[in-house]
Structure formats: C-alpha cells, structure tokens
Amino acid sequence: MVDEEVVVLPKKHKKKKDQKSLQKEDVAEIQQAEEFLIKPESKVAQLDTLHWPLLLKNFDKLNNFDKLNVRTIHYTPLPCGSNPLKREIGDYIRTGFINLDKPSNPSSHEVVAWIRRILRVEKTGHSGTLDLKVTDCLIVCIERATCLMKSQQSAGKEYVGIVQLHNAIEGGTPLSRA
C-alpha cells in the first residue's frame, strides 16, 4: 500500500457584506435620473463576406461594397410613447384596472361610480354584478382597459360560504336542501 499524504487547505473565509448593494431607493433614483436608451452612432458595420454563399462570397472585394444594403448601428427612438420609468401616473390610470375587495352593502354599480369620481375618469367598467350582501373581488377597468371586460364577464361566478350550525345534522339531505 502506498502512503498518501492528505493536504488540508485552509478554508477561505467569505467576506461579510458590510455595505449593502444598491437599495431600492437608490435604484429608483438612478432610473429616474438617467436615460436608458441606445445612443445613435454613425459607424458603419463591417461585414465579412468570406463565409457567405457562393454567389456573394468576396462580394465586397470584387464589386462595389456600396451596392449592398448595410445595416448601421443606428437607433432611432420612436416619437410616441415614453419610457415606463418616466411615464406619468395619469397614463397608468387611463390604461389600468383595479382588483377591488367589494364591501358587503353597496352594489357593484355604486362602487364603480365611487372609483370613477375618485379618479376623475370618464369610463369605468366592472367584470360582473355582485349581489348586495356579498363581499368579493370586483375587477374594475378604467378608460382604455374597459375593452378587456368582455373576457371577464363571460366567466362564471362561484360563491363560497361558511355555515355554523347549532346541532349536528343526521345525514346530508337537510343541509343540501338548504
């Protein structure tokens, strides 16, 4: 048997993170302060036609390179729209929806009217009428999102209730009739 030496290497201690990485507030400030877009450049892309198909191989050396449509590294920002980080809150409201826990007494129509008045918008719609005494999630779409209501209105309603009885019931038929 051959004697083997066992070499024990000292463990590397992990550095404790004394400094926190960027906090959420810091990231938000950076996103608000800077423009996150690709800067346009006038540099023309260099094409290597050596590995192209036979008819186009060495095209740049034999023929005029200017005849090829060459994609440049140029970025043109769209004139409409905005960066989501710098979008106004009004744009979010006009294209959004609210998943609302409806209280038990007001009707769905009444709750939607409250939201319309609070947000000062013209169009609001809800996913379906809930009964008066029911508390449930009511999806309220605002302005441009109201066109999405058709998909939610076709979904069925399902109620879950909790019943507390004074005495035990023999068999399940009286409970199922109730």
Annotated active-site positions, please?
131
Give the pair of three-digit tokens for residue 56: 């186009």
Give the pair of three-digit tokens for residue 6: 């066992």
Cα 93 to Cα 80: distance, rounded to the nearest angstrom: 18
Report the b/e string of 55-85 with b at 16+ CB within 10 A.
Answer: eeeeebeeeeeeeeeeeeeeeeeeeeeeeee
Contact in structure between 142 and 96 (CB atoms under 8 Å) = yes
